[in-house]
Structure 1
Amino acid sequence: MTARPLRSRLDFWTVVTGLVLVLLAILLILPILRVLMLSFVDADTGGFTFGNYVEAFTRNYYLNGFKNTLFVGVMGTLGASLLGIPLAFFTARFHVRGRTWISTLAILVLVAPPFIGAYAWIMMLGSNGFITNFFEALGISIPTIYGAHGIILVFTLKFFPFVFLMTQTALNAVSKSFEDAAENLGCTPWQRFRKITLPLVFPAISTGAIICFVLSIADFGTPAILGRGFRTLSTIAYAAYRSELGGLPTMAVTISIIMMAISMLALVAQRRILARRRYASSLTNLPVKVRLTGWRNVAMHLFCHGVVLIAMLPTIVVVYTSFLDTNGPVFTGGFGLESYRRILDDAPTAIANSFLFAFAAVVLITAVSALVSYVIVRRETAAAGSIDFLMMVPYLVPGVVMAIGFVTTFRSGSFNLIGTAGLLILIYFIRRLPYGVRSTTSSLRQIKPSLEEAAVNLGAPPLKAFLKVTIPLIVPGLVVGSLMSFITAINELSSTLIIYDSGTITMPVRIYLAVLDGEFGIAAALSTVLLLCTGVCVYAVFRFADNRDSAFV
């Protein structure tokens, strides 16, 4: 009598839900738990110990890295906010010429790899940078880009679009009635902005700021290239992992857990701050853009266009440098394609691997994100809620942490059958899966369940209804999510740097090694190839995003 109810419960989507949970348990939870457990292991005896954490919080080497990480994370986030909030306010409240151009450049800055920006600033403000040399020729000595100030500058210019785009969206939805009432009560424009507008959009600002902070403390490429003795937890974890090869990477995983804990504490703090107050505004009487005149209009346009142009400067420098003639690592003057010829001779494997691994990961992401999104949106169960929650975890876990977790988990025992290429594809897949899931989920929420229910009532099995009805309707969301996943996967550095070997080197790793070796021509050419791929994908995302509404008519 119990066989029939059991069979009815084990329908197609219940099985899919179970398989998704197993997949996340193996590729996400298990590596993180492995890292967590190793942090309590004594490297010499293999026994349980708190000594790794005691050393991490008492030894100056690790304490300085902890302080440095918080310093550049907080200051980079502050800098991004100081640029992003005014830029959002000006573009949302006033007529700014080239507003679409500003938003497009901001997004291009956002998706470009941060380590490319670090490398480009070396070309400009390094010991032999052209800006440094220009001022030295005038007898003026300026500080180089190396050190904490350089890292903060790169983080500020790299991550401000998060604050800008989220704040701009929130400002466009704020009711004008609140600001008009404050003005009628005698508030100055600054008081009105500080006491009324800013609190209303604080959730958006804090969300953008948290993203900036998490990405800043997790970033490896920028402090590794610009640090010059200024060490952060990400570079310390990588160095510890390399020094502990052949043994248990206990200190590397301990530092990794601390990095992850910082990210989670920042997220919890933001949630608690938002929970204490109510931030709400009716979507009526929306603001009307004002047209400024005189010097205020000029100053506003200079600020808006100046910010995005300065942020784009590293990209322009990289592309320009890639067309300079070189003789080995030395630039000889004039223009040519020598750097591109050299990458075809010296780095064909890196180029092929980058495309192959990213494409393979995106194929998996596209297939799995469609199933995961359906489970999250259509299955109102505790398991579906757990999956939805787990989709946030890859955002919070730094690449170094996931890479160490994958190595310690899948390069031992029965999992040792997975080769390096397989590991890279799987780590790209699990780290970028949330991009596909979030994009597809937003598309699926706009589709009425009655369309799928009609197909099932007409006799179609759940899988066939999903493939024939649901998939065609969510294609735009799948494509946008896949393109965003590809952009981030092909630019992945931190996790790749720990896992790769000579046969699986990728473009980001080759660029990083070229910068360390002073091969700036090769680095510029490979960076330009990466930027071109990123730009094409961003254009495709815009095209599909513009057509998404029509897809659901």
Structure 2
Amino acid sequence: MQQPIIRPALANRLSLKKWDFWTWVTVIVYLFLFSFIVYPLFSLFYTSLFNEKGALSLQNYEHFVKLKYYRDALFNSFKVSGLATIFAIMIGVPLAYVTTRYNIKFKGLINIMVIMSLLSPPFIGAYSWILMLGNNGFITRFLHDIGIPMKSIYGWHGIVFAFTLHYYPHIYLYVSGALKTIDTSLEEASESLGMPGWKRLTTVTLPLIFPTLSTGALMVFMASFADFGTPMLLGQGFKVLPILAYEQFISEMGGNPAMASTLSVVLILCSTSILFLQRYLVSRKNYSMTGMRTPKVRTLRPGLKWGLTALAFIPACISIIPQVTVIVTSFIKTKGPVFHPGFSLDSYKEILFRVPKAILNTYTYSSISIVIMIAMGMLVAYLLVRRKSKITAMLDSLLMVPYVMPGTVLGISLIIAFNKPPLILTGTWIILVISYVIRKLPYTIRSSTAILQQLDKSVEEASISLGVPPAKTFFKTTARLMAPGVLSGAILSWVTTINELSSTIVLYYGATATITVTIYSEVFTSNYGTGAALASILTFTTLISLLIANKLAGKKGLQL
């Protein structure tokens, strides 16, 4: 009997010899994502379905709904994140409007200060505010000595305060970009009809930039909702979901992985719901503009110009205070929690003698992670931009998952997935590198995608037409053209990696401790001098990295 024609054709399609380089890249990326994102998430959800006796049950979810302890933590998370988002908008939008629409002085310096406050780890900001406004903070003591009672920074109000000052740069940066490219024809039309400036801003300008503003607000909310270090340092009994998940997983009584998994699942569901809500609100209206008439910077009278410059410096200076505080206090003589008059390098000598491995670990793990991120980011970006298909579209959707995964949730999911055969990674440095790559890879891919979309395909096509294989064309031509922009974005990802605490605090053990974990431990044991010295190392690293990224990107607006 004659064989059907479809069989050899199917055999040809499935033959590994027919697979090109990009097919192999697609398969490898999918394997990576399924191994370290999908499988850990499935393990997390599966673990949450078991009760304390090891039987399949929804008991953990029933406990979450019925027990006030858990409901209050969820409410607290929404409370501090929502308030921080509102206050961040109140600071970021006016600051962005002033710096983009008027010829104020020192715009570059303001940008650097704002970005520095964003790139430093939020728990360092919390630690700095403790030094200043804690129960024994020097500002608290000063005000008390002159007869002015002041409530300490501890509590939910302190968490909101720290979140606001750390995350408002998200709003500032997103809104600044939108205000620079907005089409001013509608603003000019409303002005010609006699609409006052304030009403024009609220009824024309802000609605036009709503998609960008909502994206920045989403970033603030998600970052606040997922943050672990700041509520842990400032809460003093005020519990939020990331803290509960951590405490349930790592407990002196042996922990409750099932309940920790349940709380982690709830965290992911809440984050995902907020993400879809933001997308729904944006999709309801059409915000497209021609972009033919971008706004011009208005020239102000000298007095008004200097006045607005001073106002713009107020939030920038306040948000940079934590970095200045840790640098100054790192040189003050100290013994445990007590600072003494005079300056010295004792804190730096102590950390170099006591925790040099934590410093080495930080830069080693982050460097390995960023090399992987750059390679994967460029390859995946090429798949998404140049080889569009349903398969790559699903790949893009999978890459969105880390956006809604808090660091503590990622750490818990990886431990649950890889603490038993056939692959045991718990307690190794490899699991830390994997968590860093998963957390930051989406940002590297987004920056690589944006750069690749700006490159003309004709260069690649010319190379291929001359007989150069597609894979070789990518590495010899496309990758080299992408490199400067990718490197500048990768440096910023590297900075956020060295400052990562949420996932590291769950995944590390003694020999794999990093700077952020060591700072956290030093603060909790009241060794403020050594904590400040370690935080200063991160601050200087962040500043140097930012200047290098600025030089690579060539963005004049970010230069000092």
TM-score computed with the length of structure 2 as normaliser: 0.94
Q: How far apart are the structure 2 equivalents of 1:297 and 1:417?
A: 58
2:95–2:172 contact (8 Å) kept in structure 1:
yes
Aligned residue identity for 2:423:
F
Which of 80, 86, 94 is residue 72 of structure 1 equivalent to? 80
Q: CA offset at residue 547 of structure 1?
A: 7.6
Q: CA offset at residue 467 of structure 1?
A: 1.6
Deviations 1:148-191 (A, max 9, x none): 11000111100111111111111122222211221222211111
Bigger Cα displacement from structure 2, 506-515 vs 243-252: 243-252
| 1:187 match | 195
Deviations 1:438-474 (A, max 9, x none): 1222222222233223333333333222221222111
Aligned residue identity for 1:414:
P
Alignment of 1:275-294 (within 5 A): 275-293=283-301
Aligned residue identity for 2:531:
A
2:50–2:57 contact (8 Å) kept in structure 1:
yes
Q: How far apart are the structure 1 equivalents of 2:462 and 2:84?
A: 52
| 1:10 match | 19
Q: How far apart are the structure 2 equivalents of 1:508 and 1:452?
A: 43
Which of 80, 83, 88 is residue 91 of structure 2 equivalent to? 83
Q: CA offset at residue 294 of structure 1?
A: 7.6
Which of 258, 261, 282 is residue 269 of structure 2 equivalent to? 261
| 2:508 match | 500
Unpaired runs of 5+ in structure 2? 1-7
Q: How far apart are the structure 2 equivalents of 1:417 and 1:111?
A: 29
| 2:553 match | 545
Q: How far apart are the structure 2 equivalents of 1:497 and 1:322?
A: 23
Alignment of 1:110-189 (within 5 A): 110-189=118-197
| 1:392 match | 400
SS at match of 1:143: coil
SS at match of 1:284: coil
Alignment of 1:376-391 (within 5 A): 376-391=384-399
Deviations 1:103-142 (A, max 9, x none): 1111111111100000000011001111101100111110
Do residues 222 (structure 1) and 210 (structure 2) align?
A: no
SS at match of 1:26: helix
| 1:551 match | none
SS at match of 2:153: coil
Alignment of 1:458-473 (within 5 A): 458-473=466-481
SS at match of 1:331: strand
| 1:21 match | 30
SS at match of 2:147: coil
Deviations 1:14-61 (A, max 9, x none): 1211111111100111111211221222132x2221111111122111
SS at match of 2:149: coil
SS at match of 1:243: coil
SS at match of 1:441: helix
SS at match of 1:332: strand
Aligned residue identity for 2:446:
R
Q: CA offset at residue 9 of structure 1?
A: 5.2
2:336–2:526 contact (8 Å) kept in structure 1:
no
2:370–2:490 contact (8 Å) kept in structure 1:
yes
Q: 1:214 to 1:289 in 2, by over 3 A?
A: same
Q: CA offset at residue 505 of structure 1?
A: 0.8
Do residues 436 (structure 1) and 444 (structure 2) align?
A: yes
| 1:200 match | 208
2:187–2:200 contact (8 Å) kept in structure 1:
yes
Aligned residue identity for 2:175:
T
Q: How far apart are the structure 2 equivalents of 1:244 and 1:83?
A: 42
2:427–2:507 contact (8 Å) kept in structure 1:
no
Which of 40, 55, 59 is residue 49 of structure 2 equivalent to? 40
Deviations 1:453-511 (A, max 9, x none): 33333333332222212221111133123212211111111111111111111100000
Q: 1:471 to 1:174 in 2, by over 3 A?
A: closer
| 1:421 match | 429
Q: How far apart are the structure 2 equivalents of 1:402 and 1:119?
A: 24
Aligned residue identity for 2:462:
A
Alignment of 1:328-477 (within 5 A): 328-416=336-424, 419-477=427-485
Aligned residue identity for 2:407:
G
Q: 1:257 to 1:295 in 2, by over 3 A?
A: farther
Which of 103, 106, 109 is residue 117 of structure 2 equivalent to? 109
SS at match of 1:334: strand
SS at match of 1:460: coil
Q: How far apart are the structure 2 equivalents of 1:385 and 1:120?
A: 44
Q: How far apart are the structure 1 equivalents of 2:201 and 2:104?
A: 19
1:439–1:480 contact (8 Å) kept in structure 2:
no
Q: 1:285 to 1:455 in 2, by over 3 A?
A: closer
Q: 1:183 to 1:353 in 2, by over 3 A?
A: same
Q: 1:319 to 1:183 in 2, by over 3 A?
A: same
2:415–2:426 contact (8 Å) kept in structure 1:
no
| 2:66 match | 58
Q: 1:293 to 1:256 in 2, by over 3 A?
A: same
Q: How far apart are the structure 2 equivalents of 1:278 and 1:452?
A: 35
Aligned residue identity for 1:396:
V
Q: 1:6 to 1:237 in 2, by over 3 A?
A: closer
Which of 222, 225, 233 is residue 241 of structure 2 equivalent to? 233
Deviations 1:228-259 (A, max 9, x none): 01111111111111128756501111111111
Q: How far apart are the structure 2 equivalents of 1:417 and 1:175?
A: 52
Q: How far apart are the structure 2 equivalents of 1:481 and 1:169?
A: 17
Q: How far apart are the structure 1 equivalents of 2:332 and 2:538?
A: 18
2:268–2:405 contact (8 Å) kept in structure 1:
yes
Q: How far apart are the structure 2 equivalents of 1:321 and 1:247?
A: 37
State the number of aligned residues: 547
Q: 1:378 to 1:60 in 2, by over 3 A?
A: same
Q: 1:159 to 1:352 in 2, by over 3 A?
A: same
SS at match of 1:206: helix
| 1:485 match | 493
1:350–1:504 contact (8 Å) kept in structure 2:
yes
Superposition CA RMSD, Å:
1.8
Deviations 1:404-434 (A, max 9, x none): 0000001112111565211111111111111
Aligned residue identity for 1:35:
L
1:438–1:481 contact (8 Å) kept in structure 2:
no
Bigger Cα displacement from structure 2, 389-398 vs 218-227: 389-398
Deviations 1:494-543 (A, max 9, x none): 11111111111110000001111110000000000011111111111111
Q: How far apart are the structure 1 equivalents of 2:43 and 2:336?
A: 44
